[in-house]
Amino acid sequence: MIVLVAKYYVKSGRMDDVAAALQRMGPLVKAHEPGCTTYQVSRSTDRPDLFMLYEIYKDEAALQAHRATPHFKEIIEGTIAPMLDKREREFYETFIS
């Protein structure tokens, strides 16, 4: 299993737009990506401009398939990315579950 933890630091005034886009993304991942077992989005209680995504993929192929979907390209790359000051990503491998 591959775990992806992403942090989205949102530009001032764009928090609601990013939240709305992420709400569109979740159901599309669940409906069209069987290789993604978890897709969870959280918003910081201390910093309203910070979102954290926690995603689990069955394998590297599932992660690459996620990045190739039309909804990833439209929503994450096309809509959300331009509204971010910074995006950080960390990858992990599950070894105890």
What CATH number is attached to the domain comprising 72? 3.30.70.100
Find the domain containing 75 and state its range: 2-93
pLDDT at residue 68, as a whole number: 97
Report the side by side order of strands in the sheet with 36-43: 36-43, 50-57, 2-10, 84-93
What is the average pLDDT score of the chain?
96
Contact 87, 6 (CB under 8 A): yes
pLDDT digits (tens, 9 = 90+) for 21-60: 999 999 999 999 999 999 999 999 999 999 999 999 999 9
Q: Dmax over Cα atoms in the chain, in whole Å?
A: 40
Based on the structure, what is the number of domains in the chain? Answer: 1
Contact 4, 91 (CB under 8 A): yes
CA 70 to chain centre: 14
Q: What is the pTM of this model?
A: 0.91
